[in-house]
DNA sequence: AGCACGCCGACT
DNA sequence: GTCGGCGTGCTC
């Protein structure tokens, strides 16, 4: 070791070290030596291949690191990217994220990058001649024989595949032992990351006429079709001249055309979106919002809650603001709720900004997603638009981040890194001195509270565009309907309005937030309910597929088998879903054309498109749907909205049930009368006096909030307290309970470790989860409440320690869900 | 997460 | 004795 400060020569720069977050569950980052020859290529945001223990793993360069003390740094093996996958400015954001959601930094970064860039190291196992001999001579034991036989027939196999094929009882150590004996060879290879971008063959005309003989018709036709200046894809040319592939090489040789490959941006939607430069005149309220937002651009951090009623034209305000941001050289991120198909918002952004928008849509393949990502990295697309994960878009100088429908729960990721993209948007803007705009007709209680305490500025748009009135709401009390058995839940009032709407040749929407035919089938013979074999829930009957389905694990059972416990065919289909409503409608209005929009119809190829088309082209009269219809699409011809049962979302053991109900009702009611004709809403409920229902009916957001905030304050729920849910899962019921209880006990003990804990932290539970078993996994949960932010953070970190120390490689697991949304 | 090390019971 | 099961701990 040379002495510090002593330089080996004038030309020798000091040794350089990098701080690397490896894609492994480590709490700390690691320091690696940067070899001289790689030094010019090393940049924060690039992936590196590094040695770690006996393996090689991918890591992410965070920046330079100080000279290591107390350990020897190993050298990085390779730099994997030409361009950084994220800008350096995002490093502090990742650190904050990893800390806040208690998730390893390297895995946090991995989660934020598009899948498809993640290199995987594979251990390839190959049989040796000695191994073959040993197998023949019977020198291998039973377990070894099984492996060797597989290897003999299948050839070199990845270790994890091999273990799967060998089945139960197969272990890594057997393979390693065989390696020691010389029966097999193991070498490590990097699995190809699907990193190549897509190119397409293009043809360009160089001459106007071909010298070829006239009988070669296609050859002349090709030159006719090719544009005089500019190029054409081979694919497009083939449509006009099917024999084109046969001619182009000869034609290129003759100097008539040029053939070349060009990188293309896959159109995620199939159909091209024509540019639309129309700018609607802003209403005075829209103008105020626009001026406020634009005035804040480029002047540091600010968060604005744009509370605009349904149909108030928030999108137009967004478009104008984005335009202004681009003029100032700022880039933009637009977050939209996760939906199955391209939304109105995406369509309008693409129409207005075209190629400048990178769409990170959930329907993209890994390759397509990566294309869009790299366009942002290269600075070709200053606007990133997409669902939750788009908050990680690698834009360099974000000036504006828009979160549309900010109350939507799809902004919370419910696995692994359990982040809330709306909160992260605010944090990213805070760090990068940008403006966040949170838009919604029904803002979350949390955002509304942040306005009250001055963290956000509130801007309201109280009127709809074109002075369209709000729909008139009729409340139907389901407790005293006289519709006989009332089985279908389509009351006389609703029927009356449906008839009227159909007579006027207008469209109606019926909302019921539950898919399937019946969610509570019971057996009349044995009296049992029909439940899932793997989960503690009842199965839902799906008429269309003729089976009982579990909505949690996907388990499916044929109806023809009858009751699972007694085999009886006498089943009563209790409870109702969209399929049943559709059924009743068909018998009630046999002449009407009825569509259905839920996860089942959307899952079928083209199903969603055909329903939306039917609504747009007025070929559908009535559409029945789940909350799916409240999201992302405009139906200007709908004049009647019927809420079949408003109470469904209210019964959950979840402190947000009320908020969810209000938002859903207000959103679905807002679907009525979006076009020129005024709308009407018929709302059926068993709880006509409940404040969620009455305030939703009156479209009185403030009244709802005041009442809800009172309740939250009393019971110390967010926004007046912080929450974290510890979730325990395990295959064995007893073991899971014992595990949960032992961690619970430790957490209670921990309260006494610091005065601040005792004073401000509450441990509730652990208890078995409301759904105590899903997909054979038993579930427990424990709720942690904190009244003091700082103390709660410190407490959670300690809880994580406890979990780490108690959890084994096998057996039950525990995860921390910070700011939980799904409480079930 | 992997992967090694190390400690114990049941096989040659 | 040794093989292999799995609990514990580390990875720059
Ligand atoms: Zn039965
Ligand atoms: Zn199930």
pLDDT digits 0-9 by tens, A504-515: 999 999 999 999
To the nearest whole percent, how much of chain A has pLDDT over 90?
Answer: 61
Distance of CA A737 from the midpoint of ligand 1 (Å): 31
Closest CA to A522 of A514, A535, A531: A531
Tell me the average pLDDT across A460-477.
Answer: 91
List Cβ neighbours of A10 (8 Å cut-off, separation of 6 or more). Answer: none
Mean pLDDT confidence for A167-184: 71
What are phi and psi for residue A129, nearest 5 degrees? -55, -40
Please name which of A707, A706, A701, A745 lies closest in space to residue A726, comparing C-alpha atoms: A745
For the cut 70, the answer to whether the pLDDT of residue A173 exceeds it is no
The highest-level CATH class for domain A472-515+577-712 is alpha beta
**What is the Å distance from ligand 1's center to A551 Cα?**
21
Look at residue A169 in the predicted model and tell me its pLDDT: 59
Enclosing H/E stretch for A510: strand A507-511
Using one digit for the tens of pLDDT, what is the confidence trace for A507-566?
Answer: 999 999 999 999 999 999 998 899 999 999 999 999 999 999 999 998 998 888 888 888
pLDDT for the residue A673: 86
Helices of type H across A670-808: 691-697, 701-714, 733-750, 755-760, 789-806
* DSSP at A577: -
Q: Read off the pLDDT band of A8 (50, 70, 90).
A: very low
Contact, A801 CB vs strand C, < 7 Å:
no
Contact (CB, 8 A) for A442 and A701: yes
Give me the pLDDT at residue A224, please: 80
Domain boundaries, chain A: 16-112, 120-191, 198-264, 284-466, 472-515+577-712, 722-818
Ranges A338-342, A486-490, A799-803, most confident: A799-803
Residue ranges of alpha helices (H) inside A670-732 are: 691-697, 701-714
How do residues A215-273 score in pLDDT, each as one tens digit?
777 788 888 888 777 777 777 777 777 777 777 877 777 788 887 766 444 444 445 66
Alpha-carbon dihedral sign for residues A194, A195, A196, A197:
positive
Question: Is A810 (CB) below 7 Å from strand B?
Answer: no
Nucleotides in chain C near protein beta carbons (<7 Å): 3-12
For residues A457-486, average pLDDT: 84
Contact call for residues A646 and A685 (beta carbons, < 8 A)? yes
A283 and A460 Cβ atoms separated by less than 8 Å: no
Taking the mean position of all CA atoms in its chain, how far away is CA A197?
23
Closest residue (Cα, C1') to C9: A805
Ligand nearest to the CA of A773: 2
The answer to which of A627-631, A636-640, A790-794 has the lowest mean pLDDT is A627-631
Sign of the Cα pseudo-torsion (A389, A393, A398, A400, in order): negative
| Integer Cα distance of A50 and A190 in angstroms | 12
- The pLDDT of residue A513 is 94
Any idea how long chain A is?
824
Q: What mean pLDDT comes out for the span A439-462?
A: 97
- The reply to whether A123 Cβ lies less than 7 angstroms from strand B is yes
pLDDT of residue A796: 97
Ligand nearest to the CA of A775: 2
Of A730, A797, A728, A729, which is closest to residue A757 (Cα–Cα)? A797
- Which nucleotide is nearest to A141 if distance is taken from CA to C1'? C3
**A578 is near strand C: CB distance < 7 Å:** no
Taking the CA atoms of chain A, what radius of gyration do you get in angstroms?
31
**A133 CB inside 7 Å of strand C:** no
Buried b (16+ CB within 10 A) or exposed e, A743-773: bbebbeebbeeeebbeebbebebbebbeebb
Q: Residue A116's closest CA among A193, A190, A197?
A: A193
Å: A105 CA to B5 C1'? 27
Mean pLDDT of chain A: 88
The model's confidence at residue A133, banded by pLDDT at 50, 70 and 90, is confident
- Give the architecture (CATH level 2) of A16-112: 3-Layer(aba) Sandwich (3.40)
Q: How far is CA A322 from the centre of its chain?
A: 23
Closest CA to A645 of A630, A659, A665, A663: A665
State yes or no: pLDDT of A278 exceeds 70: yes
Å between CA of A154 and C1' of B12: 32
Q: Give the nearest nucleotide to A50, CA to C1'.
A: C12
pLDDT of residue A3: 36
Binding residues of A for Zn(2+): 523, 526, 532, 535, 550, 553, 563, 566
Ligand lying closest to the C-alpha of residue A563: 1
Q: What is the ipTM of this complex?
A: 0.93
pLDDT of residue A487: 57
Q: Please state which CATH number belongs to domain A722-818.
A: 3.30.70.360
Shared fold status for A16-112 and A722-818: no
CA distances from A141 to A44, A146, A147, A166, A326 (A): 50, 9, 10, 14, 69
Q: A415: Cβ–Cβ under 8 A, 6 or more apart, which residues?
A: none
**Distance in angstroms (rounded) separating the CA atoms of residues A95 and A108:** 9
CATH code of the domain made up of A284-466: 3.40.50.300
pLDDT at A309: 92
Answer whether residue A186 shows pLDDT above 90.
Answer: no
Percent of chain A residues past pLDDT 70, beyond the cut: 92
The reply to whether A176 has its C-beta less than 7 Å from any atom of strand B is: yes
Confidence of residue A9 (pLDDT cuts 50, 70, 90): very low
Q: Among the bound ligands, name the one nearest to the CA of residue A568.
A: 1
Structure confidence at residue A149 as a pLDDT band (50, 70, 90):
confident
A25 CB and strand B closer than 7 A: yes
Average pLDDT for residues A368-397, to the nearest whole number? 94
Token representation of residue A319: 């478009």
Given a cut of 60, whether residue A77 has pLDDT beyond it is yes
């Amino acid at each position: 070791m040379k002495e510090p400060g002593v330089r080996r020569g004038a030309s020798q720069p000091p040794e350089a070290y990098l701080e690397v977050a490896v894609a492994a569950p480590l709490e700390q980052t690691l320091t690696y030596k940067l070899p001289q020859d790689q030094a010019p290529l090393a940049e924060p945001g690039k992936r590196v291949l590094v040695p770690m223990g006996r393996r090689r793993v991918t890591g992410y360069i965070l920046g330079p690191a100080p000279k290591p003390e107390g350990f020897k740094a190993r050298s990085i093996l390779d730099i994997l990217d030409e361009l950084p996958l994220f800008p350096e400015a995002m490093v502090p954001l990742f650190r904050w994220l990893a800390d806040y959601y208690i998730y390893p930094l390297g895995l946090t970064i991995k989660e934020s990058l598009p899948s498809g860039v993640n290199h995987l190291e594979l251990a390839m196992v190959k049989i040796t001649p000695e191994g073959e001999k040993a197998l023949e001579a019977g020198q291998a034991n039973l377990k070894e024989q099984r492996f060797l036989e597989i290897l003999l027939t299948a050839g070199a196999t990845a270790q994890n595949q091999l273990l799967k094929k060998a089945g139960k009882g197969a272990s890594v150590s057997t393979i390693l032992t065989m390696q020691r004996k010389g029966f097999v060879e193991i070498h490590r290879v990097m699995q190809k990351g699907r990193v190549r971008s897509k190119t397409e063959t293009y043809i360009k005309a160089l001459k106007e006429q071909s010298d070829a003989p006239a009988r070669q018709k296609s050859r002349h036709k090709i030159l006719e079709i090719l544009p005089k200046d500019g190029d054409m894809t081979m694919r497009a040319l083939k449509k006009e001249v099917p024999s084109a592939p046969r001619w182009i090489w000869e034609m290129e040789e003759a100097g008539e055309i040029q053939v070349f490959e060009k990188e293309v941006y896959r159109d995620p939607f199939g159909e091209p979106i024509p540019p639309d430069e129309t700018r609607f005149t802003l209403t005075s309220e829209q103008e105020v919002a626009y001026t406020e937002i634009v005035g804040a651009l480029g002047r540091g951090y600010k968060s604005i809650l744009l509370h605009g009623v349904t149909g108030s034209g928030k999108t137009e305000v967004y478009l104008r603001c984005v335009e202004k941001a681009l003029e100032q050289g700022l880039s933009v991120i637009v977050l939209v709720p996760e939906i199955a198909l391209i939304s109105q918002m995406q369509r309008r952004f693409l129409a207005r900004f075209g190629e400048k928008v990178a769409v990170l849509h959930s329907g993209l393949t890994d390759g397509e997603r990566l294309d869009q990502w790299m366009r942002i990295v290269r600075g070709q697309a200053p606007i990133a638009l997409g669902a939750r994960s788009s908050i990680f878009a690698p834009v360099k100088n974000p000036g504006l981040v828009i979160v549309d429908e900010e109350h939507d729960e799809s902004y919370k990721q419910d696995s692994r890194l359990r982040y809330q993209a709306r909160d992260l948007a605010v944090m990213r803007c805070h760090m990068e001195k940008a403006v966040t705009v949170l838009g919604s007709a029904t803002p979350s209680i949390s955002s509304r509270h942040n306005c009250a305490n001055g963290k956000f500025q509130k801007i309201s748009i109280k009127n709809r565009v074109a002075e369209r009135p709000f729909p008139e709401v009729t409340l139907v009390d389901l407790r005293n309907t006289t519709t006989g058995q009332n089985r279908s839940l389509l009351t006389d009032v609703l029927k009356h309005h449906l008839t009227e709407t159909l007579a006027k040749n207008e469209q109606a929407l019926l909302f019921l937030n539950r898919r399937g035919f019946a969610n509570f089938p019971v057996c009349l013979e044995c009296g049992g309910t029909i439940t899932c074999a793997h989960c503690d829930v009842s199965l839902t009957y799906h008429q269309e597929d003729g089976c009982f389905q579990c909505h949690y694990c996907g388990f499916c059972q044929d109806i023809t088998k009858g009751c699972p416990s007694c085999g009886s065919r006498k089943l009563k289909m209790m409870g109702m879903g969209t399929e049943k409503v559709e059924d009743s409608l068909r018998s009630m209005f046999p002449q009407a054309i009825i569509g259905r929009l839920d996860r089942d119809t959307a899952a079928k190829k083209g199903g969603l498109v055909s329903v939306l088309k039917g609504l747009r082209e007025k070929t559908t009269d009535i559409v029945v749907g789940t909350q799916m219809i409240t999201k992302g699409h405009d139906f200007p011809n709908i004049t009647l909205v019927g809420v079949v049962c408003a109470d469904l979302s209210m019964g959950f053991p979840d402190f947000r049930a009320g908020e969810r109900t209000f938002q859903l009702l207000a959103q679905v009611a807002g679907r009525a009368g979006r076009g020129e004709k005024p709308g009407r809403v018929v709302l059926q409920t068993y709880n006509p006096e409940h404040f969620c229902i009455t305030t939703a009916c009156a479209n009185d957001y403030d009244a709802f909030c005041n009442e809800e905030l009172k309740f939250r304050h009393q019971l110390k729920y967010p926004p007046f307290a912080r929450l974290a849910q510890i979730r325990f899962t395990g295959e064995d019921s007893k073991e899971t309970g014992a595990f949960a209880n032992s961690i619970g006990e430790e957490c209670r003990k921990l309260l006494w470790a610091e005065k601040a804990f005792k004073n401000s932290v509450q441990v509730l539970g652990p208890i078995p989860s409301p759904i105590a078993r899903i997909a054979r996994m038993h579930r427990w949960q424990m709720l942690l409440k904190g009244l003091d932010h700082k103390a709660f953070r410190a407490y959670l970190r300690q809880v994580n320690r406890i979990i780490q120390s108690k959890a084994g490689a096998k057996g039950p697991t525990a995860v921390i869900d910070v700011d939980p949304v799904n409480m079930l």
